[in-house]
Amino acid sequence: MQKPRVILRSCADYNRDLMGGIIKETVQELGFRFQGKVFIKPNVVTANKKYIHNSFTHPQLTAAMAEVIRKDQPESLVIGESGGFGIPSRLFFKESGYFDMAKKEGITLLDLNEHPLIKTTLSKAKWHKEMLLSKYIAEADVKVWMPKLKYHIFASITHALKLNIGLLVHKERMLYHDHRIHEKIVDLLEPGYPDLVVGDAIDITYGFESAPYPVRLGLLIFADNPLAADVVAAHIMGYDPHDVVHLKIAEERGYGSLNIDDIDVSGDADLEELKARPKGKNRLFQVLSELDTPITFYSGAAWDTGVTCDGGCEGGLKGCLGTIEKRTPGSLKKARPGAIVCGVYDGDVICPDGPVMLIGSCARVTGRLEAQKVYRIKGCPIGVRDLMIKVPYVFKLPSPMFDPRDAVLFIWNSIVKGFQIFKNRVLGKA
């Protein structure tokens, strides 16, 4: 069998002409043509003009890809995404510059939550036996995935496979987003198997992936196989692919090999040299106990499983703290001393002079629990709104929820989102 191909191309910066030339050359080398209905999915999980500038695939890279595709004169070309946290994706499009780019280029850009959906049955999945899938993805003849290479708070890295979380509309996004998250990621590879991967690793990021810190790597990753793309990406980021849980599951389900010798790796960028480059604090917010803060963290298992709920309440807590610290640097170091418990913690939690917060409906302490006061946030998994309000309140942290600018943007874009759903789904004008 022919080996899957991954081509590593050096790209010093986000210069539109430079990126376009590299894309054109590499697509030709892969022998790829874009015909029929083409769908591009970038990563636009979050964006905020004030403090979140690097969480998303750069819009000029996506524009350069679209320009190359258009030269093949496909039947149609659509860019679409469903962003994170239940916040209207159109807000992130605006804050990231995607709306401006799409308008200038004359490209159709869609918030997948606002457009017609098709109930899709998955035959290979363990948890997502069915899902609501955008008709634009279901009907696409060619799918181009454009992930942003980042360290991830519970998945180690996010690239081509993890990008598929953005296939889910907001009403289904948090299903199985708990201790089953790694299997869920691989479930979504069935409806979200791309024909071409073009990864943005010009700037990689560390810290909480939705409010991260950038490091210049100067690389574009091209691949004709998503698992192969992620195997190479894992090596670049310093991981053995067998230690990245969702990649291991993907191999077990028959999506490909994690052995780099089974991949045809080429290009003008050297893999060993890329691995050796500094990449920032790769464990920042991956390991709560390593944070510089007077808050002590106790990590328990999900109820009746013995498995840490890294994709649920613990992941939500990491994201909450990561967002707060990115928005207001130094906040965690000044926090009120106390303790936070996620899941069923088998042991004692002794904090007589400060608060203890139990996060999640199943959170409890099997041993002694001593605290000045005990707080609880219920939910499975916990809601972002509750975390962003109650954690800052208890531990004296600044909450992003009370930013007037962001609140107005959220309300306005939610109204527009509702109108678009009514027009596109109810009136059928999509």
Inform me whether the pLDDT recorded for 1 exceeds 80: no
DSSP annotation of 15 reads -
Identify the band that residue 298 occupies on the pLDDT scale cut at 50, 70 and 90: very high
Is the pLDDT assigned to residue 272 strictly greater than 80?
yes
Res 210 pLDDT > 70:
yes
Q: How confident is the model at residue 373 (pLDDT cuts 50, 70, 90)?
A: very high
| pLDDT tens, position by position, 222-270 | 999 999 999 999 999 999 999 999 999 999 999 999 999 999 999 999 9
**Partners of 377 in the β-ladder:** 359
Residue 62 has phi, psi (to 5 degrees) of: -65, -40
Q: Within 10 A of 83 (CB to CB), how many other CB atoms are there? A: 27
Q: Average pLDDT for residues 148-159, to the nearest whole number?
A: 98
163 in Cβ contact with 82 (< 8 Å): no
Share of the chain above pLDDT 70, in %: 100
- Find tokens 């990561």 and name the residue: 322
Query: What is the residue-averaged pLDDT of the chain?
Result: 96
Average pLDDT over residues 84-101: 96
pLDDT at 430 (0 to 100)? 66
Q: What is the mean pLDDT of residues 83-96?
A: 95
Out of 321-330, 380-389, 396-405, the most confident range is 321-330
Residue 360 has a pLDDT of 93
**Residue in this structure with the two tokens 């004692």, named with its chain if needed:** 348
- The answer to whether residue 85 scores a pLDDT higher than 80 is yes
Contact 289, 213 (CB under 8 A): no
Check pLDDT > 90 for residue 326. Answer: yes
Mean pLDDT of all residues in 78-103: 96
Would the pLDDT of 308 be above 90?
Answer: no
Residue 142: strand pairing partners: 38
Q: Region 381-409: what's the mean pLDDT?
A: 92
What is the rounded radius of gyration, in angstroms, for the C-alpha atoms of the chain?
21
b vs e for 48-73, b when ≥16 Cβ sit within 10 Å of the residue's Cβ?
beeebbbbbbbbebbbbbbbbbeeee
> Residues 277-288: what's their mean pLDDT?
96
Residue 361, SS3 per DSSP = strand
Give the angle subtended at the CA of 262 by the CAs of 259 and 264, to the nearest 5°: 125
Residue 429 has pLDDT above 80, yes or no: no
Average pLDDT over residues 352-375: 96
**How does pLDDT run across 3-25, given as a tens digit for each residue?**
999 999 999 999 999 999 999 99
Q: Which two tokens stand for residue 422?
A: 């009514």
Residues 6 or more apart from 383 whose CB is under 8 A from it?
none
Q: What is the pLDDT of residue 409?
A: 92
Local structure of 26: helix, strand or coil: helix
The 3-class secondary structure across the chain, one letter per residue, is CCCCEEEEEECCCCCHHHHHHHHHHHHHHHCCCCCCEEEEEECCCCCECCCECCCCCCHHHHHHHHHHHHCCCCCEEEEEECCCCCCCHHHHHHHHCHHHHHHHHCCEEEEHHHCCEEEEECCCCCCCCEEEEEHHHHCCCEEEEECEEEEECCCEEECCCHHHHHHCCHHHHCCCCCCCHHHHHHHCCCCCCCCEEEEEEEEEEECCCCCCEEEEEEEEEEECCHHHHHHHHHHHCCCCHHHCHHHHHHHHCCCCCCCHHHCEEEECCCHHHHHHCCCCCCCCCCCHHHCCCCEEEEECECCCCCCECCCCHHHHHHHHHHHHHHHCCCCHHHCCCEEEEEEEECCCEEEEEEEEEEEEEEEEECCCEEEEEEEEECCCCCCHHHHHHHHHHHHCCCCHHHCHHHHHHHHHHHHHHHHHHHHHHHCCCC
| pLDDT band, very low/low/confident/very high, at 382 (cuts 50, 70, 90) | confident
pLDDT above 90 (res 345): yes
| DSSP per-residue letters across 232-277 | HHHHHTT--GGGSHHHHHHHHTTS----GGGSEEEESS-HHHHHHS
- Residue ranges with strand state E in 62-147: 76-81, 108-111, 117-121, 130-134, 142-146
Which H helix or E strand runs over 311? none
Global pTM exceeds 0.85 = yes
Residue among 366, 321, 195, 67 nearest 59 (CA) = 67
pLDDT at 142: 98
Residues 6+ apart with CB under 8 A from 223: 4, 5, 6, 7, 160, 196, 197, 199, 229, 232
pLDDT band of residue 331 (cuts 50, 70, 90) is very high
For 105-138, how does the pLDDT look when each residue is reduced to its tens digit (9 = 90+)?
999 999 999 999 999 999 999 999 999 999 999 9
Tokens of 116: 């017609």
User: In terms of Cα–Cα distance, which of 172, 170, 171, 152 is closest to 162?
Assistant: 152
Per-residue confidence (pLDDT) for residue 5, from 0 to 100: 98
